[in-house]
């Protein structure tokens, strides 16, 4: 049972709660889809960062959405470590962390990564404060399909059109 009553709106608990404020829900989902499914970083890298943060966060729904995505390469490992440092103590991030990021990522990619990390942190905090419950298997499986679809688009060179997020699909 969530701490905030859910609307009758279709979708995951997060969407059903955000639907109390449709204008916020709309912008949140639009930004989430743009951030996670387009850009200069591969969607799989961004989702791996999200999954690592979910594993360490207080949101049961977020933890239940962890989908295995294969082994991490150096860039992914660095991005995940950065996210975990931020999550543990945002004030611990130093110039040295950014120097390490710039060894592997462009400025544009660092901006994108930092935005992913802070947006995911916000989502984790919402999930925790609202008491979201674990996602059903079918929601987790649908989310895995969204990740795969976004990665395929990115690998084909389609980095700007995006893929409707699971949350948007559930609100259409």
Q: Where are the domains of the chain?
A: 13-169
The tens digit of pLDDT for each residue in 104-118 reads 999 999 999 999 999
User: Residue 164's pLDDT is what?
Assistant: 56
Q: Which two tokens stand for residue 58?
A: 């207080």
- Read out DSSP for 15-38? HHHHTTSHHHHHHHHHHHHHHHHS
pLDDT at 143 over 70: yes
- Percent of the chain residues past pLDDT 70, beyond the cut: 92
The tens digit of pLDDT for each residue in 57-105 reads 878 888 888 777 777 789 999 999 999 999 999 999 999 999 999 999 9
From its phi and psi, is residue 105 left (phi > 0), alpha (psi between -120 and 50) or beta?
A: beta
User: Residue 161's pLDDT is what?
Assistant: 62
User: Residue 165's pLDDT is what?
Assistant: 54
Arithmetic mean of pLDDT over the chain: 89
Q: How far apart are CA 16 and CA 4, in angstroms?
A: 10
The tens digit of pLDDT for each residue in 29-43 reads 999 999 998 899 999
In CATH terms, the fold of domain 13-169 is AhpD-like (1.20.1290)
Q: Which two tokens stand for residue 121?
A: 């942190």
Helices (H) and strands (E) in the chain, counts: 9, 0
- Give phi and psi for 82, each to the nearest 5: -60, -45
Q: What is the pTM of this model?
A: 0.87
Range 4-13 average pLDDT:
94
Judge contact between 78 and 86, C-beta under 8 A.
no
Range 134-144 average pLDDT:
88
- Read out DSSP for 65-131? T--------HHHHHHHHHHHHHHH-GGG--HHHHHHHHHHS-HHHHHHHHHHHHHHHHHHHHHHHHT
Residue with tokens 């449709």: 22
């Amino acid at each position: 049972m969530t701490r905030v009553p859910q609307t009758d709106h279709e979708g995951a608990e997060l969407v059903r709660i955000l639907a109390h404020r449709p204008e916020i829900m709309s912008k949140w989902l639009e930004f989430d889809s743009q951030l996670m499914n387009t850009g200069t970083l591969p969607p799989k890298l961004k989702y791996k960062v999200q999954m690592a943060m979910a594993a360490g966060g207080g949101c049961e729904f977020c933890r239940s959405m962890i989908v295995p995505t294969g082994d991490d390469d150096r860039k992914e490992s660095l991005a995940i470590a950065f996210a975990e440092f931020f999550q543990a103590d945002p004030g611990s991030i130093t110039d040295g962390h950014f120097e390490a990021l710039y060894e592997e990522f462009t400025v544009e990619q660092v901006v994108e990564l930092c935005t992913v990390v802070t947006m995911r942190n916000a989502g984790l905090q919402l999930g925790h404060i609202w008491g979201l419950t674990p996602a059903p298997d079918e929601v987790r499986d649908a989310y895995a399909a969204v990740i795969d679809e976004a990665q395929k688009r990115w690998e084909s060179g389609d980095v700007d059109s995006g893929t409707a997020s699971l949350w948007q699909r559930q609100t259409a």
